[in-house]
Amino acid sequence: MKHIFIKGTDPSAPTLVLFHGTGGTERDLLPLASIISPPSSILSLRGNVSENGMPRFFKRLAEGVFDEEDLLLRTEEVHTFLDEAALQYGFERNNMIAIGYSNGANIAGSLLFHYDNALRGAILHHPMVPRRGVDLPDMTGMPVFIGAGSNDPICAPHETEELRGLLEGAGAEVRLHWERFGHQLTAQEVDAAAAWFKEHVVD
């Protein structure tokens, strides 16, 4: 997968894995990583799917309607890539925190839904429920931050609450942060994620 790796200053800090939103690139979330955990190494991915020229991490059938077959295929693709990248760049595979926005948050969520220990934790900005009717892996104690907009036209508040319930039902420790905005990612939301990270992820 097309990606950027930036080696951090503290090898014990979690490696941040960045997943952009629809139409983004592997450079979009680099500023977030520097705010959330400055000493961390960064692995930032570009989605392998193109929708009218816009990079995405998996196909969709319509707005808010996922192509589940492609979602499963792409989730496996990302999972395999993370295994390979950990070996290539020499960081700990079990110490990775995802930061995803919109479509990127959905592929990160799908990793949590489909693989044991795919991630140590996740920061999900404006995610949806990746799949329904599946048994989730054991996520006991896993820290997850969800940033959401109370006026988000793409991800309605009830879907955000549903996702929190599913993750907590699998044992994750979820912090749900609301902003009075839509689908955009605000500076206040990023600051809240950074404060949460320092409290719940950094040893």
Reported as a single tens digit per residue, the pLDDT across 171-201 is 999 999 999 999 999 999 999 999 999 999 9
Are 20 and 26 a contacting pair, CB within 8 Å? yes
- CB-hemisphere CA count at 13 Å for 32? 28
Instruction: Output DSSP code: residue 58.
Output: S
> Annotated catalytic residue: which of 3, 79, 177, 183?
183
Q: pLDDT tens-digit profile of 38-50?
A: 999 999 999 999 9
Cα 83 from Cα 140, distance rounded (Å)? 22
Task: Mark whether 83 is an active-site residue.
Answer: no
Active-site residue 152, yes or no?
Answer: yes
Decide if 183 is catalytic: yes
Do the beta carbons of residue 149 and residue 179 sit within 8 Å?
Answer: yes
Please report which confidence band the pLDDT of residue 203 belongs to, taking 50, 70 and 90 as the band edges.
low
Tokens 């059938």, residue? 61
**pLDDT at position 64 over 90:** no
Residues 6+ away with beta carbon under 8 Å from 158: none
> Model-level pTM greater than 0.75?
yes
- Taking residues 14-38, what's their average pLDDT? 97
Catalytic residue among 102, 110, 114, 125, which?
102
Residue type, 182: G
Q: Is the dihedral of CA 188, 190, 195, 199 positive or negative?
A: positive
Query: Where residue 63 falls among pLDDT bands split at 50, 70, 90?
Result: confident
The pLDDT of residue 43 is 98
